[in-house]
């Protein structure tokens, strides 16, 4: 297939697709994480303050995303644990108040997509691919055009220099699962 056929197929695979600049609707967005703890339970939480910008190209493969997350907005449902995770033992939010993600490319993967991008966390940058499913494009209930996406990723906290979750009898997995549910509004 030629390049135009691949592009036409990519657009056709997303009913209602529109190119443009999108702003995430915070009322319909969830940036969450989970990590195995003591090998028997899962600790999870979310971030409540972030800025996410999405630009969809005429060809979906030319789209991009950039995001900044305020790490102090961490909420695990336990304030004592949140303060500990914000401390220098883990995130060190006094020195590294934000995490950022910048896409470097998008590719098809089976029925879905993969966004390749650089995550900067704790002052260290690594490539973290996001497995993305488009949940839909269409008119919003109050007008405007909306897009929905689900995404997952896994990262190694050790690669980002966050080693504080082991020792002292507390064993926490190195692997952290990330999940995103995003609804964005087309800017006019």
Q: d(Cα 26, Cα 48) in Å, to the nearest integer?
A: 8
The predicted-structure confidence for 150-159, as pLDDT tens digits, reads as follows 999 999 988 9
Residue indicated by tokens 């995103």 = 180
Number of residues that make up the chain: 188
What SS3 class is residue 96?
coil
pTM: 0.87
Q: d(Cα 33, Cα 36) in Å, to the nearest integer?
A: 11
CA atoms lying within 13 Å on the CB side of residue 47 = 24
Give the count of beta carbons closer than 10 Å to the beta carbon of residue 3. Answer: 9
φ/ψ of 158, rounded to 5, equals -65, -35
User: 134 has which bridge partners?
Assistant: 149
User: 125 has which bridge partners?
Assistant: 120
CB 126 within 8 A of CB 160: yes
Give the count of beta carbons closer than 10 Å to the beta carbon of residue 127. Answer: 9
Burial readout 85-110 (b: 16 or more C-beta within 10 A, e: otherwise): bbeeebbbbeebebbbbebeebeeee
What is the residue-level pLDDT of the chain in tens, covering all 188 positions?
334 445 555 666 789 999 999 999 999 999 999 987 766 778 899 999 999 999 999 999 999 999 999 999 999 999 998 998 899 888 899 999 999 999 999 999 988 899 999 999 999 999 999 999 999 999 988 888 999 999 999 999 889 988 765 554 456 778 899 999 999 999 97
List, as one string, the DSSP characters of 24-36.
Answer: EEEEEEEEEEEEE
Which domains, from first to last, does the chain contain? 3-186 (2.40.128.110)
| Contact residues for 154 (Cβ-Cβ < 8 A; gap 6+) | 175, 176, 177, 178
Q: d(Cα 67, Cα 96) in Å, to the nearest integer?
A: 15
CA atoms lying within 13 Å on the CB side of residue 123 = 10
């Amino acid at each position: 297939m030629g390049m135009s056929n691949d592009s036409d197929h990519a657009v056709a695979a997303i009913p209602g697709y529109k190119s443009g600049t999108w702003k995430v609707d915070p009322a319909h967005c969830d940036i969450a994480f989970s990590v195995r703890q003591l090998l028997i339970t899962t600790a999870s939480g979310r971030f409540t303050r972030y800025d996410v910008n999405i630009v969809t190209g005429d060809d979906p493969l030319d789209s991009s995303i950039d995001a900044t997350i305020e790490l102090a907005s961490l909420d695990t449902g336990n304030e004592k644990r949140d303060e500990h995770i914000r401390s220098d033992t883990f995130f060190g939010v006094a020195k590294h108040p934000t995490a950022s993600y910048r896409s470097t490319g998008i590719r098809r993967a089976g029925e879905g997509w993969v966004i390749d991008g650089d995550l900067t966390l704790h002052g260290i940058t690594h490539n973290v691919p996001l497995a993305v499913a488009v949940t839909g494009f269409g008119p919003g209930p109050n007008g405007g055009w909306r897009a929905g996406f689900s995404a997952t990723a896994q990262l190694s906290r050790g690669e980002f220099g966050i080693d504080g979750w082991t020792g002292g009898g507390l064993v926490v997995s190195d692997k952290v699962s990330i999940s995103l549910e995003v609804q964005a509004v087309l800017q006019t």
